[in-house]
Amino acid sequence: MRVQYAPGRPHRPRDAMLRLPFIALANLFLLLSSLLGAPFRMLAARHRPAYVRFRLTGDPSYRQQRRPRFSLGGGSKPEPSDVTSLERFGEDLRLLAKDARVKGIVLEVEELGLPSAKREALVALLAEFRAAGKRVVAWAVMVDSDSYALMCAADEVLLAPMGRLELVGYAAEATALGEGLSRVGIRGQFVRRGDYKTAPELFTHPEVSDIQRRTVETFLDERYSVLVEAVAAGRKKTAEEVKGLIDVGPFSAQRAKAAGLVDALVSEADLPVHLGLVAAPPAADSKAPAAEEDETELEPLEMYLETVPFPPVKWKRLKRRTRLALVPVSGMIVPGKGNAGGRLATADAVVKGLRAAGRDKRSKAVLLYVNSPGGAAIASEQILEAVQRVAKKKPVLAYMDQVCASAGYMVALGAKEVWSAPHAVVGSIGVFAGKFDTSGLLKLLGIHRTVLTRGANAALLSFSRAFSEGERAALEADVEEMYQSFLGHVAKARGRTKEEIHALAEGRVYSGLRAKDVGLVDRIGGFEEACRHALSLANVTPGDFELKTYGAAERKMSLLRLLMGAAHPQTYAVCPMSWNLGGQEREVLASLADETRWGEWLRQWGRETRD
């Protein structure tokens, strides 16, 4: 049955009337503040900067996050020039683009860790700014391949004289621990459904399998081609020239300049001189008298606003903005309560977030943001059921920009539409289960254990011995049942037969683009585009809207709880692929890097794991 979504109910007049006095008072205060400050800003107008400085570092959020007024040691405060969100950065660029006295911006790039989707969104914002006739000057001290690809979207690329350009492409390290574990008396015993479900190979194989190798190389090829295309377009070179330069990297600042990968070598102190904002100092052998030292610096946006007589004012609205609910599923999906700072997505926290989003009458639609390598079967089914319940009330759109694999993909199936960024990791439809047989290690240590049971399979998950034939047969039947259930969920959600999904499943992993081609996702797009489309599904005009997060990860993590969880060895929540791509892939597989930590291997969250 097709669910029809009614247009959003308008705000009740009574509520608007009750808010009117407070809105009027707040706006009057804003007006008076703006008028009183105008004379001072007019006096400062002659010092308005021609270039405004922005610092791009870390992983800014898509939308501006409200910071608490009071914090007890809750992280460092961003610098005035820091880009804190793509939303705010876009607003700032559009404001500057309208000012004829502003020539452009200086974008300082430092230690970025952006998903490819955010990088593409930033490139689009810079292209829009440049189309308005403004210049973008990118400057850095040291950048890797990903950061450099972003810098290539600027009009001019500058590097500090002591800097380095780590343009070397991408590398992947696939791991196989089977032989190493056997040397200390540990054997990984796992049952999997699908040759492409390579996660257990990390513990069972002595070498990386050909299937795993081909999977990794497919992602490497795709990411490498994106890098080559970005550098070729930005530096006006052919693809072959770029590939040749990558093969002789990394580069010192001098070599990068000689190769045409950067336009000039400029220290931070000399940026104003390079941009023509101050006169160059006389040469050391010049007889001209030395001018008084000029301490001119590039100013952030807040200093620019102090020179604008009437800067934009965010007036309080009588009519509230349309609200879109955001429910994140970030990290390993596990049963239980609470959340661990994005490392774990507990079923209780996500389900409560979904329920709250469903109850919120102001939220006309829900965006389910999935960034998970997988997790426990029972937890993913709980979340899927909650998504389906909310989807009966209002449209739900699932969006992924990093990794949405196995149980992560399972929870996305309850949405009306599934969207992906072009290079997200998607799929890994399959199931595995197993344990570690530590009997060899116990023998080496002189530890003797006797397993006493009542019931043929009571000691199925005991570490003290290997599976019996009956136990393995029971586990294989259980895994097969779980796999068929997984296929059924996907087939129903995607409008396909189980046979068709099986041909795409068995643990196969796709990029977002390839997932779209085979029908596992509906559309390829960015975060903002997905948000607006979610609202359009509710027949709401997606103009200026606000985003409210439900079920977000808690800031604090219980170390004791994690250690206690690590003491139970019945489920192995590890990555869908036992590999980690360097460079650009650190944002896609950040949560997968824990595959070499014993605590993650030995976590008990149920017996079967879709991951």
Catalytic residue annotation = 197, 406
Helix (H), strand (E) counts: the chain: 21, 23
Q: Residue 484 is which amino acid?
A: Q
From residue 221, alpha-carbon distances to 111, 255, 423 in Å are 24, 26, 12
Count CB atoms within 10 A of the CB of residue 340: 21
* Beta strand residue intervals within 266-362, DSSP E: 322-330, 332-334, 344-346
- At 419 the three-state DSSP class reads strand
**Residues 192, 475: Cα–Cα separation, whole Å:** 10
The three-point CA angle 32-90-532 to 5° equals 105
- At 433 the three-state DSSP class reads strand
Instruction: Specify the residue for token string 């910071």.
Output: 67
**Residues 215, 414: Cα–Cα separation, whole Å:** 27
**Residues 568, 601: Cα–Cα separation, whole Å:** 10
Instruction: Specify the residue for token string 């959003």.
Output: 8
Instruction: Specify the residue for token string 């955010």.
Output: 118
Report which of 322, 333, 411 is spatially closest to residue 369, judged by C-alpha positions: 411
Which residues sit opposite 581 in a β-bridge?
172
In sequence order, the 6+-apart residues with CB closer than 8 A to the CB of 187 are 181, 204, 436, 437, 440, 466
- In which region does residue 336 sit, left (phi positive, over 0), alpha (psi from -120 to 50) or beta (all else)? left
Report which of 255, 293, 290, 258 is spatially closest to residue 273, judged by C-alpha positions: 293
Instruction: Specify the residue for token string 């001290």.
Output: 141
Question: Across the beta sheet with 509-511, what order do the strands follow?
Answer: 403-405, 425-427, 509-511
**Residues 421, 118: Cα–Cα separation, whole Å:** 9
Report which of 473, 469, 474, 466 is spatially closest to residue 437, judged by C-alpha positions: 466
* DSSP percent split of the chain into helix, strand, coil, nearest 5: 40, 20, 40
- CB of 430 closer than 8 Å to CB of 486: yes
**Residues 510, 66: Cα–Cα separation, whole Å:** 35
Measure CA of the first residue to CA of the last residue in the chain; give whole Å. 31
Instruction: Give the gyration radius of the chain's Cα atoms.
Output: 28
**Residues 415, 467: Cα–Cα separation, whole Å:** 39
In this structure, what token pair is assigned to residue 512? Answer: 């977002």
